Amino acid sequence: QSALTQPRSVSGYPGQSVTISCIGTISDIGGYNFVSWYQHHPGSAPKLLIYDVTKRPSGVPGRFSGSKSGSTASLTISGLQAEDEASYFCCSYAGPDTFELFGGGTKLTVL
């Protein structure tokens, strides 16, 4: 099964909002509410931002929110800050044969 599709890059100015899309199929994002999002700064451990489409772990700022429509999931970052510059990956459960699929990652640049 193919990886989920994310834009290679997005950008925004401090204070603005950006949305990163993650496109899948009925076999993964569209079939289950098990989408998660991760932030990754080079050289550091990836960090969980969102799980089960919309849930935010304790400690993750409310500026990060997740949603889903059909087979497309989205991560919205509002009130952009310089430290948000990183790569972002989506992940979805894809059934009992494939299990987990990741997106190709999106590089966020804060201008």
Partner 1 sequence: QVQLQESGPGLVKSSQTLSLTCTVSGDSVKSYDYYWSWIRQPPGKGLEWLGYIYASPNTYYNPSLKSRLSISVDTSKNQFSLMLTSVTAADTAVYYCARNPVGYDFYYMDVWGKGTTVTVSS
Binding site for partner 1 (CB under 8 A): 3, 6, 32, 34, 36, 38, 43-48, 51-52, 57, 89, 91-93, 97-105
CB of 111 to partner 1, least distance (A): 24
Are 6 and 90 in contact by the 8 Å Cβ rule? The answer is: yes
CB of 63 to partner 1, least distance (A): 19
Rank residues 14 and 57 by Cβ distance to partner 1 and give the closer one.
Answer: 57
Rank residues 21 and 34 by Cβ distance to partner 1 and give the closer one.
Answer: 34
Q: Where are the alpha helices (DSSP H) in 10-103?
A: none
Distance (Å, whole) CA 10 – CA 62? 20
Structure tokens at 104: 């190709």
Distance (Å, whole) CA 57 – CA 98? 25
Rank residues 41 and 111 by Cβ distance to partner 1 and give the closer one.
Answer: 41
CB of 107 to partner 1, least distance (A): 11
Contacts of 16 (CB under 8 A, 6+ apart): 80
Distance (Å, whole) CA 56 – CA 49? 6
Rank residues 16 and 98 by Cβ distance to partner 1 and give the closer one.
Answer: 98
CB of 93 to partner 1, least distance (A): 4
